[in-house]
Amino acid sequence: MARKKEKAARKENAGEAGPSWDMEEFLKVFQGRTGNAVTRNRLERYLREGLLFPPGKDGRFSERHLERLQMLEHLRSRYGMSMRDMAGIFGVLEGRREEPTREGAAERGDDRKRKIVDNAARLFAAKGYHGTTVDEIVQATGIAKGTFYLYFESKEDLLVEVIKNLIDETLQRIDDKLRGKGKSDFITRIEAKGEELLELYLENSELLYMLLGETVGNRRLQEQLHEVYERLAERLEEDLQWGMREGEIFPYQDLRTVAYALVGMGQTVAILVSGSDREQLPRIRATVDQLVRRIFSR
């Protein structure tokens, strides 16, 4: 019975069942697991700033403390974060210890990441990629700078996510539009996709042209640009295959090449539209429609 009470007390104090250590043992365990040493002074400062929650009533540290210390040291050594930056990540004001609110606990993961992406997209479009700083992005999002690096390793990593998000939204709108039209012929399907792709280019031209410019000498962004074109072309290729099966279009030998040609045409037409008066838009759209019908007529 005494052992059970001791185990229950340790679980209550340490926050979980499992091994526990005094401060000196805790520091040795941390060094043994990570290969990195933490001084007693730094550990005590983490405790004072509220970044590391207090030990149990018996003064012992648990696995939960070990996991938090590993995260703190990763942020400090990998990204050079200050105590203040790390405080923002864990919802702690410098010099104070506060319990996380329900609202703060609810806003995590995908929601916070999406806010960062949305704000970055607006800033990139308005100020350009190089003209936008991480500080401006975190200020617009209302988070600490350290929180940014929990989701993205760099601004370039964020740019990739912004572009992926734009493509995902465009493809979703295409699917929604086609579901609303029900079963339709090839030209109707191509026109529906063309309209959404045109909107993608027009609404996000700065971002897309910026991505084109940033790809020079940057293998990662070159791969991302290729993925953008590939995903758009895949959707068009599906319609081309469907149109051929239905006997609606000319049986081209290489539908993949045709799909990429349509993506490229959409991008260049978007350049034309962006520099034209609104009165000219109906004529441009009608001409593109006529061209597509002629290209695919049997």
Give 71-128 pLDDT, tens digit per residue. Answer: 888 877 776 777 776 776 555 333 333 344 444 444 456 788 899 999 998 888 777 7
Q: State the Cα–Cα distance between residues 111 and 168, nearest whole angstrom.
A: 16
DSSP 8-class letter at 15:
S
pTM of full prediction above 0.85:
no
Contacts of 97 (CB under 8 A, 6+ apart): 50, 53
Q: State the Cα–Cα distance between residues 142 and 163, nearest whole angstrom.
A: 22
DSSP 8-class letter at 130:
T
Q: What angle do CA 163, 169, 175 make, to 5 degrees?
A: 140
Mean pLDDT of 172-201: 77
Q: Which residues pair with 62 in a beta bridge?
A: 20
Q: Which two tokens stand for residue 50?
A: 């509220």
DSSP H stretches of helix in the chain: 2-14, 23-34, 40-48, 63-79, 83-89, 102-106, 110-127, 134-141, 145-151, 155-181, 186-203, 205-214, 219-245, 255-274, 281-296
Give 233-278 pLDDT, tens digit per residue. Answer: 888 898 899 888 888 888 899 999 999 998 888 888 877 887 777 7
pLDDT of the residue at 4: 43
Confirm if 202 and 273 have CB atoms less than 8 A apart: yes
